[in-house]
Amino acid sequence: MAKADLPTIPDDAIVEEKFLAATGPGGQNVNKVATAVQLRIDAYRLGLPPHAWVRFKSLAGSRLTAEGELLITARRFRTQEANRADARERAAELIAKAHERQAKRIKTKPSKAAKARRMEAKSVRSDVKKGRGKVSFD
């Protein structure tokens, strides 16, 4: 999905944006600067329709807290700005994916001819198995 297609997260939905000491790339800088971003978004303020809310909850999984906050931690990059943008983009992708509707399953049933073929095959197989019984010389 292109960045232009992603929904924007309302400013009032962002509860907290905290910078943490990150692990991973960054050399000695990792010990000095808090580059990882922890983003908390109030899911109730996103105004999701019912079908999207159900899907959002399943997609978010353990990232959704009991208070209804989406918790995203981004520590992929070496700078605060890049991690901040990454966290917001990942949240927007999750919201966009929640809005996608699942395709309805269309019930199908076998035709009469297919049922007849199946029954014929069963009877043929049954006859083959009957022929394997003990032979009597009466």
> Tokens 């959704």, residue?
64
Q: Where are the domains of the chain?
A: 3-99
CATH topology of domain 3-99: Double Stranded RNA Binding Domain (3.30.160)
DSSP code for 66: T
pTM of structure: 0.65
Counting beta carbons within 10 angstroms of the beta carbon of residue 76, is it exposed (0 to 12), middle (13 to 18) or buried (19 or more)?
middle
Q: How far apart are CA 39 and CA 19, in angstroms?
A: 9
Beta-bridged to residue 64, according to DSSP, are: 70
pLDDT tens for residues 80-110? 888 888 998 998 888 888 888 888 889 999 9
Low-confidence spans in the chain with pLDDT less than 50:
none
Residue 27: predicted pLDDT: 64
